[in-house]
A and B are shown apart, each in its own frame.
Chain A
Amino acid sequence: MPLEAFGPLSARGGGLRRRAVNVLAIGACVLAAAIILLPLALIVWHLAAKGLPAFRPSFFLHMPKPVGEAGGGMANAIVGTLILVGLGALIAVPVGVGTGVYLAEYGGGRMSAIVRYTADLLAGVPSIVVGVAAYGLVVVPMGRFSAIAGGVALGILMLPTIVRTTEEVVRLVPQSYRHAALALGAPRWRVLQSVVVPAAWSGIATAIMLALARAAGETAPLLFTALGNRFWSLALDQPMASLPVFIFDYARAPYDDWNRQAWTGALVLLLVIATISALMRITTRRVAGSR
């Protein structure tokens, strides 16, 4: 909306037309906010309405049942999601935090500029593309779909968030902390380990949790890495069930009962993500408070 749309600026005194345009334009903005928030509110409402009926303890404890048998749960998918996200974190946390600290502490040169840019680009890569790459990198050499392949895909997706957020929070640690530690005779690695990283820890924890929450909801990269599994399996070199893939399969199935369970699965997935986010807030607050 360019300025001209609202009429000439120089016209002094309130013409009726200008006042009408003013009211209309402001009304349009309020209306836009209402229109866009409506579907978002509807999604949350439908999740609760359609997901709650099957939301019982058995959903968390039982295995999926064959078609036609009532009941059944997604115990294996819930555990599978936790394992896959854990595997991803195992890869992404050391690399991501290390890189973030590197960028903040040693990041003046060309190498860090390239890494920073790469992390930004990685953040924009569609998750399905990461899935295709993980298929070629892990599934093909291993000869089968596996939880490890899924973990690698999720780890790659977590990296950019952890890298960039860690860099930010480490930069926020006041220079005077470093100067004080160096003045006491601490070598640089000791300054990082005992002063800078602890001071930034609450922020780093937030970054990790944020990445975990996002990875927990990813479906596309798991479709042809971890694949899915209707049975209980904790083996890392075998296909593994995950909540998002389960929801996808159940939502596409032509059975009403499965569709209902897909809604409940979506509600559980959202709860998992909300729990991670809540943990994030609690750790942030506690560490911030203890300092």
Chain B
Amino acid sequence: MPFACIYVPNFPVAAALRAEPELQARPVAILEGKPPLEKTIAVNEKAARMGIAPGMTKAQAELCPKLALRLRSPLQESAAHAALLDCAQSFSPCVEDAACDTALLDLAGMESLLGPLPAISRAIYNRATALGLAANIAIASNPDAAVLAARGFPGVTVIPAGEEAEQLGPLPTEVLFANRLEDAPKEDEQKKAAARLLETLDRWGIRNLRGLAALPAVSLSERLGQAGLRLQQLARGTASRTLVPVEAPPVFEEAVELEHPIVLLEPLAFLLNRLLEQICARLGSRALATQELRLTLGLENLTSSNQQSAINNQQFVRTLRLPLPMLDSKVFLKLLQLDLNAHPPGAPIMKIHLAAEPARPRSAQGGLFLPPSPEPEKLELTLARIAGMVGENKVGALELLDTHHPDGFRMRRFVAEVARKTPQKKSPDSAAATAAITALRRFRPPLRADVILENDQPVRVACPKKKDVQGDVLWKAGPWRASGDWWEREAWSRDEWDLALRNGDAVSFYRLVHDLLGGWFVEGTYD
């Protein structure tokens, strides 16, 4: 039963490089600790070649001019860990979260789905690279052998069943204690015990796993006890155990903390693009999309000397709700840009946190004979652009309100997916017989009118704001009284007249309203 291990070496550096890919060409060191006592805890290969080692102080590391120093970021590391689990879960449902930098997955039965083991290992490697992780992949017949091979051999390693001892033989004995030495706190008992065992083996002249595997088991047990036997089983690749599967929570968050605040939206777009690509890659690896993006910007603390007021822990939150699940980082970026242009954060940005609410991708069945409909992604961008021009509440679909108010409606979001109704076929005769409905063309807001009355009836109307709407009343019908909402504060009550006005040679029909709380208004024209 094959198992695969995904191991990300030098995890703090890998997490930083995932957040800032442009650092890959430079020596990088990760600092931890409170200023001014920061020390390097991890360095990449280029930094190591320049003499930078873990444990150096910040002042020592800064002597190297090209070195990029970054503070350890728990947010970045948790995002990288989540990406690691996403990568593993995209290949197998049975995944063990062995460590923050290690994930084990059970590949039983996967060969018939995904191909031979070398192809699977390469696919895992490519997926991890796409998620921004430089990982070592190893496949072996038991989980511990896979972990040892992934920690010991760079790149992709596939160990055939029965050849574990031979393949693992050249690895140094430190590989056996790597997790205990790295993860445990400094004064931990486990770490001390591991260091003692390693020292003992070193004194015996055992430098690699081949030497440890060749020792007689009884003698080893007499000297090191069960711990020694366990180590020998690991070195021979014969230790077996069952995986402890975990189900990664569907949390898709990416964050970046900035050393220097961002003031302009353009550089912010570059960072957002990177975060969005990472989130979309993670969502894609789990065959998911998103319908809601939540952007939280941590703003710089602003202190106004004039007003003596300080704004602390300021956060700027924008939520982008989409009508349909989407997975296109370019569209998301454009939508966020348009949203931030319309609602700019009021202070320099120090931290960016982006979260996506996962949703099942939409499944749409196209048809050759269906009428065309706008593409949801394009439409959403178009609507956002138009809303940026005319205002958010001025673009969308209409919804009539359950009221007798003559202009009772509200705007709602326009969605290009509407449940299709069965078209009602009309006979040609009935279509010909049905006359078109005379439409009212509204003036918004209604035009205030000066009205000459004779016997309480309008005989001449003029609108000072619209010169076209004036003239003698040729014909009139009304008044029609309408009222409503008397139980609320916004009660309305009015009389309506339908008028034909002569303005020069032209005759036009209008709706004149006498608001019983106000004055006379021309509400619209019949057109």
Q: Do A and B come from one complex?
A: no
